Amino acid sequence: MRVDKWLWAARFFKTRSLASDAVSGGKVKVNGATIKPAREIKVGDQLDIANSETRWEVTVKGLSDKRGPAPEARLLYEETPESISARETARDSRQFVQDPAAVIHGRPTKRDRRQMDRYGR
């Protein structure tokens, strides 16, 4: 089974083309090696997947070329305990970081623009 099809079926990527681009870009490694999208995977392979800020280390437990519901997709792989703890700590650290744009509500008013000009944007 092709690795890009499996990543799409296991719901790591929303489309197969996104999965293929990620594999081509070196964001997915099979058994520690960078691969091409047409690479065949088999049960027992170790995958390192990086999708934006999220990273997974999974072991392939099943093969499917059809994208099904999320509970069925979770049966296709088993995530390592180290990966689970790393994702949880990353999630917790992001929870306390405030988005700088959170205090901005729409366009600046005339008063806001004058203050930005005064302090040099």
Distance CA 111, CA 115 (A): 6
Residue at 13: amino acid letter: F
Confidence at residue 97, expressed as pLDDT on a 0 to 100 scale: 74
| Number of C-beta neighbours around residue 8 at 10 A | 23
- Token readout for 73 is 């997709």
Cβ-proximal residues to 93 (8 Å cutoff; 6+ apart), any chain: none
pLDDT (tens digit per residue) in 16-46:
999 999 999 999 999 989 999 899 999 999 9
Given a contact cutoff of 8 angstroms between Cβ atoms, the answer to whether 35 and 28 are in contact is: yes
DSSP 12: S
At the second CATH level, the architecture of 1-83 is Roll (3.10)
Smallest Cα–Cα separation from 23: which of 53, 42, 48, 56?
48
pLDDT, one tens digit per residue, over 63-112 is: 988 999 999 999 999 999 999 999 898 888 877 777 777 777 788 889 98
What are the structural domain ranges in the chain? 1-83
In angstroms, what CA-CA distances link 66 with 76, 111, 117? 11, 56, 56
Q: What is the pLDDT of residue 121?
A: 64
